[in-house]
Structure formats: structure tokens, C-alpha cells
Amino acid sequence: FEPWTDPAQKPLIRFKSVTKKFGDFTAIDDLTLDIFEQEFFALLGPSGCGKTTMMRMLAGFEKPTSGVIELAGADIAPLPPNKRAVNMMFQSYALFPHLTVYENIAFGLRRDRVSSDALDARVSEMLKLTRLEKFAQRKPHQISGGQRQRVALARSLAKAPKLLLLDEPLGALDAKLRQATQFELMDIQEKTGTTFVIVTHDQEEAMTVASRVAVMDEGRIMQVETPERIYEAPNSLYVADFIGEVNIISGTARAVGDEQFHIDWAEGNAPFVATSSRPFSEGQPCHLALRPEKVSIHAERPETAENAVHGKILDIAYLGNLSTYHVELPGGQIIKAQTANTRRVSRRSYTWEDTVWLSWTSTAGVLLPE
Ligand code: ATP
């Protein structure tokens, strides 16, 4: 993994070879990462990979065992949590139940003894930003869950932190509200220009809101790039498998031309063709990560396809706008193919036990080493 840098962007946060140990256990393993100013950044990974530990180190609740974390060019280690230009919004929101929405938002400013005019101006600005003007005098139990979430956001932005940490910020909301709130979060992040770092278990959420996503595993970053690159060009089997659905087709490579490979595999007699800018040597084991929507399904053998195999439909998952077909090849491998349910396709839909042909182009997948 090579940290990706763009000279046009200024890093706000720099992790420099940061390791965090709890006793013998390494929670963060020699991690180097830049997070830029005004960026909406997501940390994504399975439970226990170290996401919360990263957030806690940024907030100041934990110190690295070794390495340095910089905020705006200065080591943050000597600064206690309340002296950092960092705020953290918790999943539980932690609103004060006996205070009004207004007073909840004003709380941090009052503690800092901000003048009453400046305080009122700032709270009004935050109420407007989060569309809560009408609810200023209500208590938290008199507003909806979505509105409470916005109060928590307004409160954490009131002191204009350079960095806002969001730990599962939408976890308490139902699916529909969650989606609407994702767009709202993006809008507020853009308007304030604050750097947001979000931790979420929901990969779709991370891909929706974030400008860049870091995929983590066991205290290390496996890939950090835009959501599109993470999905379209995963750099490892781990990332390909972690994000979205994927077929992994394994075989051995044979170079046949400029960035062209024939892959010998267990299915059928013919190799399949794949394009890859990453070099593979003769006979090197490799895996094609192929997204289901890149596999086409046909009733007859598609004569012009670069790669075509036949198989039998085992299962169909109907998802409304899409259908996913699980097709078993003669050798036993199951390939998932996803089609959009436009009218044209649904008129000619396939059913269980049908024998069908699957095809994909040589550029449809990503060829990865072991
Ligand atoms: P989740 O998604 O479940 O919240 P996470 O990716 O946020 O997981 P962390 O909470 O950062 O993971 O934990 C990373 C690892 O460090 C885990 O294996 C955890 O058990 C361990 N860990 C975290 N805090 C401590 C601690 N105070 N003492 C010992 N081990 C800890």
C-alpha cells in the first residue's frame, strides 16, 4: 500500500508510522495516512480492524504507542482532548435532555464564555444550517430522531472545529431517513468546509458520502482512494471482496500480448482473456475480480463475445430494479450475473434450471495476484 498524495491538496491530518498497542495486541500497525483539508473521509473495515482506535487517537482519548499524528502541521500528542480543534459526534448523540435545542447547541460556547451576541449569532447560524430554526425552544424528547441527529451535528459544529469525527452518525435512523440524512450530511460538510471523518459499518453509506475511503484490515490500511476507484479498481482480493458483490475466478496466467493474458482455469477447456496493466509471469496464479453487473446473460451462445461460458441457473434474487442470477458452470463454480430489469429484459427473463450463456469482456474485471 502506497499512500496517495495530491500536491493540490493540503493535509490537515497526518498519521506518520503510527502504531497503537494494547498490551501485546497491535490494534494499529505502522499506519501512514494523510487526510486533506475540507475532505469527507471514511474509515471502513470489519469489526475490530481499528477504526474506533483511529478516531480515539484523533480525539485525544488514546495516545499512539509510537509514531506521530499531526493536525495542521503540529504534533497533537501534547494537547488534551478539549484543546484540540477536533470534535466527535457520538452515535448516541449525548444531548442534554433537560436543555432546549438552542441551549444544547449553545453549551460548548457558553463554557468558553463567548459573548452573548456572538453566541446568539453562532447558534442561529447553526440552527439555520441544520434547518432547526422552528425547534429551537423544544427539548430533545419533543423532536424526531432525525431532528435529534441534526441537533447533535449542530452542537458539534458550533465551535467551528477543523475536524469533526462521526462515529456511526446515522446508526439510530431507519433506512429511508438514513438516506436523506446522508445527503444532508454531505451538504453541511460542503457548506462548512470542515473536514469530516466518518466511521461506518455500512459500506454503501461510506461510498455515498465520502470523497475518499480507507479500507482497513487488522490495523492496516489496504487501500485509500475515491469510492469509484475502490469499487472499480480494488488493489487486492481483500478489498474486492469487502466492497460490494464480486465473482473471484482463479487460474494461472499466460501472457499473449501487450497487457493481454490468457487465464487457464478449472472451468471448460478454453482459457479466458483478461487485460491487465499489472504484469503476471508465465504460470503465475491469479484471480479475476469480476463484478456481477459486468457479466451478461444470454439464451444462446454469444458468437462475438471475448469470453463465454454456459451453465445452469441455480438461484435468482429479484431486487426490483435488478435481478441477480447464480449460475453453476459444468465444473461446479458459481458465477453471479446481475441484470437491470428494464422492460426489454423482463420480457425475456430466465428461470431456475435454465441453461444460459454468460459473457464478459477482457476489460470487465481486475486481475489480481495471490
Ligand atoms: P468496531 O467496528 O467493532 O467498533 P473497530 O474497527 O472500531 O471495531 P477498535 O475498537 O478500534 O475496532 O478495536 C481494534 C482492536 O483493538 C480490537 O481487537 C479491540 O479488541 C482492541 N482494543 C480496542 N481498545 C482496547 C483496549 N482499551 N484494550 C485492549 N484492546 C483494545
Same domain for 167 and 289, yes or no, is no
In this predicted structure, what is the pLDDT of residue 343? 64
Same domain for 207 and 122, yes or no, is yes
H or E element in which residue 248 lies: strand 247-257
H or E element in which residue 142 lies: none
For the range 180-186, what are the long-range contacts, defined as Cβ-Cβ under 8 Å and sequence gap of 24 or more? Answer: 180/146, 181/146, 181/149, 182/208, 182/209, 184/150, 185/153, 185/209, 186/40
Residue 127 to residue 158: CA distance in whole angstroms = 10
In this predicted structure, what is the pLDDT of residue 345? 53
CB hemisphere CA count around 285 (13 angstroms): 5
In this predicted structure, what is the pLDDT of residue 289? 97
- Compute the distance from residue 263 Cα to the ligand 1 centre, in Å: 41
Q: Whose CA is nearest to atom 23 of ligand 1?
A: 53
Same domain for 224 and 275, yes or no, is no
Q: Which atom of ligand 1 is nearest to the CA of 23?
A: 29
346: which 3 cell numbers?
A: 423482463
In this predicted structure, what is the pLDDT of residue 346? 52
- Compute the distance from residue 28 Cα to the ligand 1 centre, in Å: 10
In this predicted structure, what is the pLDDT of residue 353? 86
In this predicted structure, what is the pLDDT of residue 232? 93
- Compute the distance from residue 215 Cα to the ligand 1 centre, in Å: 16
Residue 362 to residue 356: CA distance in whole angstroms = 20
ipTM for the complex? 0.95
In eight-state DSSP terms, residue 346 is: H
Q: Which atom of ligand 1 is nearest to the CA of 22?
A: 29
Q: Whose CA is nearest to atom 17 of ligand 1?
A: 48
10-residue mean pLDDT series, the chain (370 residues): 58 96 96 95 94 94 96 91 88 88 94 90 95 95 92 94 92 83 92 94 90 95 95 94 93 91 85 93 95 94 92 90 92 93 65 91 95
Its pTM stands at 0.89
Is residue 3 in some structural domain? no
Same domain for 129 and 202, yes or no, is yes
Residue 130 to residue 179: CA distance in whole angstroms = 16
Which protein residues are within 6 Å of ligand 1, measured from CB? 22, 25, 27, 45, 47-53
- Compute the distance from residue 218 Cα to the ligand 1 centre, in Å: 10
In this predicted structure, what is the pLDDT of residue 113? 85
Range of the domain at 310: 245-369
Q: Tell me the one-letter amino acid at 154.
A: A
Residue 44 to residue 214: CA distance in whole angstroms = 6
Same domain for 302 and 359, yes or no, is yes
